[in-house]
Homo-oligomer: A and B are copies of this chain.
Amino acid sequence: MDKQLLLSSTRNVLIRLEETIIFGLIERAQFALNKVIYEKGAFGSELSGESLVGYLLHETEKIHARMRRYTSPDEHPFFADLPVPLLPALVFSESPLQPNAVNINAEIRAVYEQQIVPLICAPGDDGQYGSSSVSDVMLLQAISKRVHYGKFVAESKYRDREAVLKPLMKNMDREDLARTITDEAVEAQVLERVRLKAQTYGQQLGGGQTDFRVTPDIVQRIYADWIIPLNKKVQVEYLLQRNP
């Protein structure tokens, strides 16, 4: 894949995922916090010690693994013990990425459950455990994909600025690397765009009784405080594992 193609296809995926994430946040915010669904063991020993959300996420990943989801270079599982694919391997167009083992889903899950959900959901418990968990799994998967797309972003930056990045990679200097790959103009653009999308999609049309929590401010904050920094972390880790 050539440099321009990599850049434009990466950009398209990132923009498309903004809709998925904002729609997902709006879906989840229809239900209360329901914190019991994040507590390990809260539903007894039947869920192998996991929380309800963890159990659903694990079971969902088992099915998706059988459908070979995690053979794709842009998919990263939250669990390690997954079954082998039932389907014959897809022939992916050759991945532009170098082999790497970067996966920060544990951190993504912690941020999501401890920071993002309490921000968008009304406090309390409405008993909608199933619907809330289904929505959580969908959002965790979308956010994971968005964050790990940092690998494609980093690869694209590497090809563009190899001479600048190589010495930083050799020095293993995370802070220096993070500073160098930061493009403040692009970040400002992303934040502006997600604010506009949240404004548009978050309109309450034709009634409905919820007090609405997925405001443009909140969506912008979720991107500024977590999605963009975690994406940057993936970029740095990918570059550190990349063969220069």
Contacts and interface: CB of A to CB of B under 8 A. Distances in A.
A interface SS class: helix
A44 B206 CA distance: 46
Contacts of A12: 207-209
Nearest to A145: B131
A15 B206 contact: yes
Nearest to A71: B130
A210 B13 CA distance: 11
A66 B209 CA distance: 31
Contact of A27 (B11, B20, B134, B197): B20
A82 interface: no
Contacts of A39: none
A8 B69 CA distance: 41
A25 B237 CA distance: 36
A30 B16 contact: yes
A241 to B, nearest CB: 26
A210 B19 CA distance: 13
Contacts of A55: 67
Nearest to A192: B206
A139 to B, nearest CB: 12
Interface residues of A, number: 49
29 contacts: A11-B207, A12-B208, A15-B206, A15-B207, A19-B26, A23-B23, A23-B26, A23-B27, A43-B87, A44-B87, A46-B86, A55-B67, A56-B63, A56-B67, A59-B63, A59-B66, A60-B63, A63-B63, A64-B130, A64-B134, A67-B129, A67-B133, A68-B130, A72-B130, A138-B138, A193-B206, A200-B203, A200-B205, A201-B201
Interface of A: 11-12, 15-16, 18-20, 23, 26-27, 30, 43-44, 46-47, 52, 55-56, 59-60, 63-64, 66-69, 72, 86-88, 90, 127, 129-130, 133-134, 138, 193, 196-197, 200-201, 203, 205-210
Closest 6 CB pairs of A and B: A23-B23, A193-B206, A46-B86, A59-B63, A15-B208, A69-B130
